[in-house]
Amino acid sequence: MPVASQRGCAGCQQSRAQSEAHADGQDFVSHTSCRLGTWYCQGDGKACFSHLTGFRDIEAPHQQVRQHGVEAIRKFRAGNFAVALEEIGIMEAQGLLVLKGLECMATCGEQTLEQASRHCH
């Protein structure tokens, strides 16, 4: 077998292994390590926005989004499509709660800025 073909096959095998790990949810980062989680737990989110209404409301549903997303992948890979769809539904509902918390924070932040600007002038 030519070297190029051998490399191609090894590349395919590596891609398949990576795909399977990803598809099984094994390599997904935790809810505290993703971009939102990092912002929330240790970044500007915590430092600058933790005092806003809605900030604490996003942690639990964000964790649930990640948990149910991974579980949906696992169920799908196992051929349990009905349960995978249920997991996706839960994930979407929890995602809406995250968005609601972020919107609440934005509204609260706008009101705080308006109040602060009234006191400064």
Could you read off the pLDDT of 90-111 as tens digits, one per residue? 999 999 999 999 999 999 988 8
Percent of the chain with pLDDT over 90: 45
Q: How confident is the model at residue 6 (pLDDT cuts 50, 70, 90)?
A: very low
- Say yes or no to pLDDT of 2 above 90: no
Query: How many other CB atoms are there within 10 angstroms of residue 51's CB atom?
Result: 10
What letter does residue 52 receive in the DSSP assignment?
A: S
* Domain spans in the chain, listed from the N-terminal domain onward: 1-27, 31-120
Q: What are phi and psi of 97, to 5 degrees?
A: -70, -35
- Say yes or no to pLDDT of 80 above 60: yes
pLDDT of residue 97: 97
Range 4-33 average pLDDT = 54
The chain-wide mean pLDDT, for the chain, equals 80
Q: What are phi and psi of 114, to 5 degrees?
A: -65, -45
pLDDT of residue 16: 46
Contacts of 59 (CB under 8 A, 6+ apart): 40
pLDDT top residue among 23 and 35: 35
